[in-house]
Copies of this chain bind each other. A is one copy, B any other.
């Protein structure tokens, strides 16, 4: 399936040029003029890569990049920053804000494509969508399904993300705060104890299938998912 590249650029001419090149290279091109539009596209289409001009009308690209990095749902999307001048200061800021790569205008289409492919290759294993198996459980992110021994397990969205995180990060203790960061996202402000409640709901959902004891409490530290 074609990778989706989101182009965030307010100058129509350059946006057009970028889109042309991107499609020429066999990718699917999405477009946005500003930060708001970008968020809409991200929510709707979940792009595989974002081409981001750091000079945007209201929000600067750097701020948007930081926001993207701060949210659990978007932090894994790679970003390539675009800037007019090759000032070192910009470059450093861009990379520090969480961009994966960086290209200065004017750029050659060949260079741009090379960088896009390089970044996509680096992020190739889209862990987010891969089936996960651990502790006798099967989790299919794309289908939003979990099963154990052929039996389906019904989970709410939050429990699902929580379990997904645990299954991909087994044998390690995570504090409530870390779980909030990873599962809820940094932008959300909820009580730490909320984690407890969701742990309980998740345990309750797993219990009927003899999948008890998978999520262990480590008193004073947090929780741990253990395959045994």
Q: Could you tell me which A residues sit within 8 Å of B by CB distance?
A: 58-60, 62-63, 66, 88, 91-93, 95-96, 108, 110-111, 114, 117-118, 121, 142-144, 156-157, 171-173, 177, 181, 186, 189, 218-221, 224
Contacts and interface: CB of A to CB of B under 8 A. Distances in A.
Nearest to A191: B110
A172 B142 CA distance: 5
Copies of chain A in the complex: 2
A142 B110 contact: no
B114 A88 contact: no
26 contacts: A58-B88, A59-B88, A59-B92, A62-B92, A62-B95, A62-B96, A63-B91, A63-B92, A63-B95, A66-B95, A93-B96, A108-B189, A118-B181, A121-B177, A142-B172, A142-B173, A143-B171, A143-B172, A143-B173, A143-B224, A144-B221, A144-B224, A156-B219, A157-B219, A157-B220, A157-B221
Contact of A189 (B62, B110, B181): B110
Contacts of A171: 143
Contacts of A156: 219
Contacts of A181: 118, 121
A220 B156 CA distance: 9
A59 B95 CA distance: 12
Given A58-B88, A143-B224, 20 more contacts: A60-B92, A62-B92, A62-B95, A62-B96, A63-B88, A63-B91, A63-B92, A66-B95, A110-B189, A114-B189, A117-B177, A118-B181, A118-B186, A121-B177, A143-B172, A143-B173, A144-B173, A144-B224, A157-B220, A157-B221
Contacts of A66: 95
A6 to B, nearest CB: 21
Contacts of A142: 172-173
Contacts of A173: 142-144
A189 B111 CA distance: 6
Contacts of A118: 181, 186
